[in-house]
A and B are shown apart, each in its own frame.
Chain A
Amino acid sequence: MGRFREKKSGGLPKVSTASLPDIVFILLCFFMVSTTMRETTLIVKIRLPGATEVQKLERKNLVSFIYVGQPVRATYGTESRIQLNDQFATIQDIQGFIAVEREARDEADRRLMTTSIKADKDTRMGIISDIKQELRKAGAFKINYSSKKAAKIR
């Protein structure tokens, strides 16, 4: 009997924390895989318009973004500008941009490519129409007007 009593005197047994780093690393790996880093820094101000009938953009690696809005830095004026990758661009650059984006993708995925237009809600439609015309000429027919999911508009 004495033997058993001796064991109890040690109090609560220590929980092994040796597996804790592994658990945390698995969490870390999950986050690294499931999220995409923002690779472009915005140089135009974008406040997306709200809409109720939005669809999720699937296959993010097949999406190319065109940003339209007022430059963040006032020295570039207040007129709406187009941003492709990391710099300002003009309407004429869009066809080249689409061609480069298309080259970077697999042959099989090219017809699934989507162009997402991220434009500020105060942008005039003139510049958007011009972009759409260029996209039509470039053969990028699938577009997405990026907008926030709103519960109800006004």
Chain B
Amino acid sequence: MRNKKGVPEINAASMADIAFILLIFFLVTVTMDVDTGITRKLPPPVEDNTSVDLNQRNIFEVLINSANQLLVEGKPGNILTLKDETKNFFLNPNDEADLPEKKLENIDLLGDVYVSRGVISLKNDRGTSYETYIRVQNELTKAFQEMRDELSVEKFGTKYDKLVDPQKQEAIQAVIPMAISEAEPEDIGKIK
């Protein structure tokens, strides 16, 4: 008599509970944090010490010693003013003789623009703390980011990272390249 009814229906009411428990397990175990950081490109290794001929006025020297103190262009520096000093150096708004030269270049979408030849040279000691190094890198990145934003607003009306057209981004990059050069590691200004 019973077999005539066929397979009895399984109660699926607890299915939702089981799924919820699984869901909560995943929510707890997974890490939602996105990895963020400062991106840099390393230069390819050099075989012999070929010195690149760079005019002294084109180099902005930033040194960090093992006590995490800054030496900017031969003078004790401050991390709070580093960004503005970098911008002032790179853009050279008043065409001063000891700040980098500028070259007139023709760039797509922008036409003839002055491109600064300035290079930021960053040197650190083996004893420098990583935190200080990152802070300096952060300030330098911010300086370049702000210069790109300013140029982008002036030329295209939007901030650099809001530019949709990759060609426009490339044009801005050509005028303001991320010119940070890191020296081969060496010990400088050791304080015992």
Contacts and interface: CB of A to CB of B under 8 A. Distances in A.
A143 B30 CA distance: 25
A92 B121 CA distance: 28
B155 interface: no
B128 interface: yes
Interface string A93-136: 00000000000000000000010100111111110111011011
Contacts of B77: none
Interface size class of A (residues with CB under 8 A): 35 or more
Contacts of B42: 132, 135-136, 140-143
B128 A36 contact: no
A104 to B, nearest CB: 19
A35 B39 contact: no
Contact of B129 (A24, A125, A140, A143): A125
26 contacts: A21-B12, A21-B18, A24-B19, A24-B23, A27-B23, A32-B26, A37-B30, A49-B130, A49-B134, A51-B38, A51-B134, A56-B34, A116-B35, A124-B128, A126-B126, A128-B130, A133-B185, A136-B43, A136-B44, A136-B45, A141-B44, A145-B38, A146-B35, A147-B38, A147-B134, A153-B138
Interface of A: 17-18, 20-21, 24-25, 27-28, 31-32, 35-38, 49, 51-57, 60, 63, 114, 116, 119-126, 128-130, 132-133, 135-137, 139-149, 153
Given A49-B130, A52-B138, A114-B39, 4 more contacts: A35-B31, A63-B35, A122-B131, A141-B42
